[in-house]
Amino acid sequence: MKRTILGSVAALALSAGALWAENVAVITPYLAQPGTQAYVEGFQAQAAKSGWTVNVIDTAGDVAAVIARIEDAVTQKVNAIVINVDPAQVAAGLQVAKDAGIPVIGMDAGSDPLLATNVTSNGYAMAAETSVYVANRIGGKGNVVMFVFDAFPPVQARGVIADAVFANHPDIKVLDRVTPDVQDGGIADSRAKMEAILAANPEPGSIAAVWAAWDQPALGALQAIEAAGRQGEGIVITGIDANPQAREAIAAGGNFEASVAQDFAGIGAAAADAAGRVMKGETIKEPVIYVSTVMVTAVNAAQ
Amino acid sequence: MNFRSFSTALRQWGTFLGLLAIVVFFAWRLPETFPTAQNFLNISQQISMLAVAAFTMTIVMVMNDFDLSVGSTASLAGIVAAVLFAAGQPVWVGVTAALAVGVLGGVFNGFLVAYIGILPFIATLGTLTMFSGAAFMISDGKTIFGRDIPTEFAGFARFGIPLDAIGLEGAKLPLMTLAAVVVLLMVWLLLEQTTFGRRLYAIGGNRVAAELAGINTRRLRLMAFGLTGLGAAVAGLMYASRVASANPTQGAGLMLDAIAAVFLGMTMGREGEPRVLATLVGVLILGILDNGLTQMNVDSYVREILIGAIVVSAVAISAFGQRRG
């Protein structure tokens, strides 16, 4: 008898615990990537403050397994699901969650009507930061080489903003709008393209700046300028993303002067805030929530 | 029952008992959510792609061969179909071309193994890289998704046959599950009920003896590899339909899991030979572990270690039993 009472008390405590603690599944195929790890750590830190149980599930690159794990999380009746994967590819799972009334939050996932919201960085804002930096540094005057990639929508958006900023300065001329071949990662071909542009414009001062929509072409352009021995002409280079190689180049104090870093941990924390809001029953109006980015120059590149 | 027959029975049924134990364990720990019709239907759909790859992998493993290239074949098949869809071709053209690529790739493997005489490990390791490279080349390394993938194609993985008639209100038998069942039946008929199948087992038992008995082992091995390639392509198409996209690496995970499933199943064979129904047990073990451990909030990496450990211990127990039995 005593045992049954104890047993039922324990069962009660267990089920009550399950009722009180919010249960959240974070599902991604990309946990091995440094950015994703930072998102997840930011999310966990924020979730720990609220006392949630967080189950981080890495499917090691397998996108179909993300759908399977979303289904399992729905079966398990978690309170919310957070994904870091292209929502279009896991739509089958998102539909299951929607049918079960379980909210799904995107953590830099891309926006989708099946998501409660998506938390990410504002690509337009990042491009505005670096293109305005370029325009200011060259005094609103001179020839600019742009490296863009219009086939990939998030990068295309960056190019549009830089186009507008440079067009707004009557004395800035866009010398070339280059789309590098990115098969090898983008550095090598950008370097080759930049070498050709340098050869075509041999006069010192004929190129005032290189604006790149992401870091790899900026690094390629830097290599080309240094290889041509023209690093002394004051050509200003900017990138976007502030990857470790770019930070190193910026810290070295050469032509590569600035980039913009996404706040990965901040995105994770903001995703946790969003999850908290939807779990309280709020409908988030914005399909995308933007987290501020940080300009990286020689001053803070080493941080 | 004496000790010897008991140990033989335990060896043969051990893996199946393991599966039952896993099911009972999850049903006990997750009484509300695990042993439900909907969850079992979910699992059946989740494992359908692996199941198809593993069932057809069984065909070559019957002859003591194996095929490391099934993952790349699956990726390549998905890419071929998606590239054709993107070029405006109808679904049947993309699907047919993808299946043809699978058969051709498999036959090429069979040719290298049976006619050139390269060990399957090396031959299919080489073609693994070739097919993967081809998938990257055809797709430019990109993921093909969105409007390029026809809704009829992606819809295959979303739809099912309503089960209201048998009392499961609102539940559906997924078409993906149905596809896996059809492949299972076909492979079972082929291996267990035809001369072709019996000859494959004869080759697996003793290739030289099979040859002396007048079996054209080369042609049979070629055909068997072709079928494994076809199955890999089917699995790749199912995967592409499920994620409504194609990526040059997306099938990569299938190969090791398929081989693991066949190995798990082989522990149930009287002589340690692969049987396709036993492969099904292997696939179920892997799929149910994934489903149940996710629901129990077990860390993904712990899950992987556990699955590896189960495969190794099942095979070890079986090997130990066989030596003594």
Q: B304-317 pLDDT, tens per residue? A: 898 889 888 888 87
Chain B, window 122-141: residues with a beta carbon less than 8 angstroms from a chain A beta carbon: 140-141
DSSP SS3 for B246? strand
CB–CB contact A68 B38 (8 Å): no
What pLDDT sits at residue A6?
46
Listed by start position, the domains of chain A span: 2-115+264-291, 123-261
Complex ipTM value? 0.86
Residue B159: which of B53, B241, B89, B51 has the closest Cα? B241
Provide, as residue numbers in chain B, all residues whose Cβ is less than 8 Å from the Cβ of A91.
244
Enclosing domain of residue B151: 3-324
Are the beta carbons of A29 and A61 closer than 8 angstroms? yes
Stretch 299-318 of chain B: residues touching chain A, C-beta under 8 Å: 299-301, 304
| Residue A283 exposed, middle or buried by CB count within 10 Å (0-12, 13-18, 19+) | exposed
Q: Are A2-115+264-291 and A123-261 in the same CATH fold? A: yes
Q: What's the confidence (pLDDT) of residue A292? A: 94
Nearest Cα to Cα of residue A249 among A228, A266, A231: A231
Lowest mean pLDDT among A258-272, B96-110, B308-322: B308-322
Residue to test with chain B: of A31, A40, A62, A83, most B Cβ within 10 A: A62
Of A136-150, B203-217, B307-321, least confident by mean pLDDT is B307-321
- Gap between the Cα atoms of A97 and A50, Å rounded: 23
Tokens of B223: 């055909």
Architecture of the CATH domain A2-115+264-291? 3-Layer(aba) Sandwich (3.40)
**pLDDT of res. A20:** 59
Model confidence over B148-187: pLDDT tens digits? 899 999 999 989 999 988 888 888 999 999 999 999 999 9
Contact B295 A183 (CB under 8 A): no
Give the one of B145, B294, B299 whose C-beta lies nearest to A72's C-beta.
B294
Range A160-176 average pLDDT? 97
HEC profile of chain A: CHHHHHHHHHHHHHHHHHHHCCEEEEEECCCCCHHHHHHHHHHHHHHHHHCCEEEEEECCCCHHHHHHHHHHHHHCCCCEEEECCCHHHHHHHHHHHHHCCCCEEEECCCCCCCCCEEEEECHHHHHHHHHHHHHHHCCCCEEEEEECCCCCHHHHHHHHHHHHHHHCCCCEEEEEEECCCCCCCCHHHHHHHHHHHHHHCCCCCCCCEEEECCHHHHHHHHHHHHHCCCHHHCCEEECCECCHHHHHHHHCCCCEEEEEECCHHHHHHHHHHHHHHHHCCCCCCCCEEEECCEEECCCCCCC
Q: How many domains does chain B have?
A: 1
At residue A11, the pLDDT reads: 47
Segment A263-291 mean pLDDT: 95
For residue A206, name the pLDDT band (cuts at 50, 70, 90): very high
> A 22-51 residues with CB below 8 A of B?
23, 31
User: Could you tell me which CATH number the domain at A123-261 has?
Assistant: 3.40.50.2300
Closest-CA distance of chain B to residue A266, Å: 24
pLDDT score, position A219:
95
In whole angstroms, what is the distance from residue B292 CA to residue B23 CA?
9
Rounded average pLDDT over A95-114: 94
Residue B231, domain CATH: 1.10.3470
Nearest to B49 among A55, A64, A86 (CB): A64
Per-residue pLDDT band for B322 (boundaries 50, 70, 90) equals low
